[in-house]
Amino acid sequence: MSVLKTLASGLIGSATLTAVHQGAQRFIPNAPHVDAIGRRAVARGIRALGGTPPQGRRLHDTALVGDLLSNALYYGLMDVGHPRHRIARGALLGLVGGLGAAFLPQRLGLGRQPHERRPRTPLMTVAWYTLGGIASGAVRQLLDRQ
């Protein structure tokens, strides 16, 4: 039961992050486009394995599912340790994940985010990943009270 609660909490944090990213792209100039980095990573990984990556909407959907699942597992790490500190661990995980998402893609050969404008775009990226981590920790605490 505890593993299911952890996975559900991680998935809620991941969904929070994804919803904020996707929604902000429609309304905020220079909003993060981490999904573009995800599409590049999926295509690059499939090519490295000798395959042909999907195109267009299929590539987008594949990257989105990959992001949701990997972020859910990552945010689930907030459950390691004392239960009282889940929200703080979630926030720290989000902060570290956001910094990685903002500053590692170019170093990994995945390029920059489309429409990136510094410092605004990286700050939003870090803030939204942190929000996802906080949501994950908060949901896990709520599930324990049930």
pLDDT in tens, the chain (146 residues): 699 999 999 999 999 999 999 999 999 988 999 899 999 999 999 999 999 999 999 999 999 999 999 999 999 999 999 999 999 999 999 999 999 999 999 999 998 888 788 899 999 999 999 999 999 999 999 999 87
CB 51 within 8 A of CB 128: no
Between CA 5 and CA 53 the distance in angstroms is: 34
Domain assignments of the chain as residue spans, ordered by start: 2-145
Alpha-helical (H) ranges within the chain are 2-27, 34-48, 56-75, 86-103, 120-145
pTM: 0.92
